[in-house]
Structure 1
């Protein structure tokens, strides 16, 4: 019996791809940092600030993922390290922007009893001097943490709690900009035709893979009949989902991923999906790939 084959990135890259990732990432981080800091400065609500931080990381991660794809970088470890470098730069720039606004801070305006914001001006000279003085930027953080610069419900946030907030923001930015381009570098790529495989999510659900290990072993043994169509009429019943990856110019480049999907409802009754991977990037013969695409593709009639 032939041993199962899972896709493994070749690790190949180009110098232009690396330089493009660093250059585009570094440039994109600057306007994103400005938008992020200004939004946080003028929207003094911590739960919204968390969403803004997540958005900052997601947009920058998306930019890096796009450049990773365009540059055909197939080395996940290298891409991850490059993403980390861009994340550190983005984190540093946003602090430079914040300290510049802090230096230009004026009167504080109240927004009721629970929040307020401070008017400020931006001085490009101060900003550029901070960008070129990392010691000054990093040295300012302890004093800011001691005194605090913002409050919630009348309580000034400072000390260890403020450090924890900063740490959470840092980790969000780093994880997004590290993981998103790295996951792109792991996507199947045809070295023969020099192109990424295109992902196709098959629309018809499969019966749920209640025993993930058994499903994995069955497919590794080429038992494709193990995959069955989902027959339950319950819209909230769990089911399986198939993803097929095929390179347009390389018929032999065909890979299969599976995931279990469970439906959850919130307090308002709104449903949402929760997914769990069963297997990822298992190589399948071209004819099997076509058969699965037909069987789990759009329903006829």
Structure 2
């Protein structure tokens, strides 16, 4: 039976592999440097949380760009690359931080320092000596690296903070890669990623997800009929998104429920839930 949902081909062009590796690794190192620079000059723990989240999502976006440029349609490769880049980011930012600490002048009293300067040789030495890096982390943990309400954070609590930081840096790009660029519809005919097009036509809110999917599976495309003209679609409806490429007779359809809510501040909050993703359709289907 023909697969009714898009499945990545698994193709990895040789040129694409080289491009994706270079772009991914260079971007990861640059983002790690930017991360430490921001943490160094903005030593506010609450803002550092957002900076850490930014590093995780930044790596994911860089990976998506790298995989897109390389036309990589292999999800296993994309996952492995995300793991490697996440580990590289975590390791390199620590190596940079420790190397800056060795160059720091002033007192570490209260978990602060005066100034530092980057030393490439020192950074590379620490980067290539994992044991020295870990030993330095242990030493830094004993004295603390920041303060909360004038109290230096060190010891067990600091280890917890570092573990949470590691989970964000490692987890965000790896988990996000499961729905990243390599999983998106690609036209093998045109050797190009399909364009994503959000249709203006709205469907009635889909209450029975399983029933809706079953209708599509059975070829009953009455399920895609537009909502009645008098239907109230102001707060909830179903939205269709088509992935297509010029000249390619195959398209892929994603249908999602959209719900508009108003939060406590009176702002509109939109929640989207996929009902079916990348369902294979033909150009004959009027969507």
When normalised by structure 1's length, the TM-score is 0.85
Counterpart of 2:271 (choices 250, 269, 274) is: 274
Residue 25 of structure 1 corresponds to 24
Counterpart of 1:257 (choices 247, 254, 258) is: 254
Residue 14 of structure 2 corresponds to 15
- Spell out, residue by residue over 1:214-254, the C-alpha distance to the aligned partner (whole angstroms, 9 max, x if none): 1111111222221343555463x22212110112231x220
Counterpart of 2:113 (choices 104, 107, 118) is: 118
Q: In structure 2, the residue corresponding to 1:258 is in which secondary structure?
A: strand
Residue 298 of structure 1 corresponds to none
Residues 1:226 and 2:223 are matched in the alignment: yes
Change (3 A) 1:240 1:162: farther
Cα distance, 1:155 vs structure 2: 2.9
Change (3 A) 1:116 1:140: closer
**Distance in 2 (alpha carbons) for counterparts of 1:218 and 1:197:** 25
Residue 149 of structure 2 corresponds to 153
- Spell out, residue by residue over 1:105-152, the C-alpha distance to the aligned partner (whole angstroms, 9 max, x if none): 334799xxxx98532212313212212222211232233233321111
RMSD value, Cα: 2.5
Cα distance, 1:210 vs structure 2: 1.4
When normalised by structure 2's length, the TM-score is 0.89
| Moved >6 Å (runs of 4+) | none
Please say if residues 74 and 182 of structure 2, whose CA atoms lie closer than 8 Å, have aligned partners that are also in contact. yes
Cα distance, 1:180 vs structure 2: 4.7
Aligned residues: 283
Q: Structure 2: which 5+ runs fail to align?
A: none
Please say if residues 4 and 220 of structure 1, whose CA atoms lie closer than 8 Å, have aligned partners that are also in contact. no
Change (3 A) 1:216 1:116: same
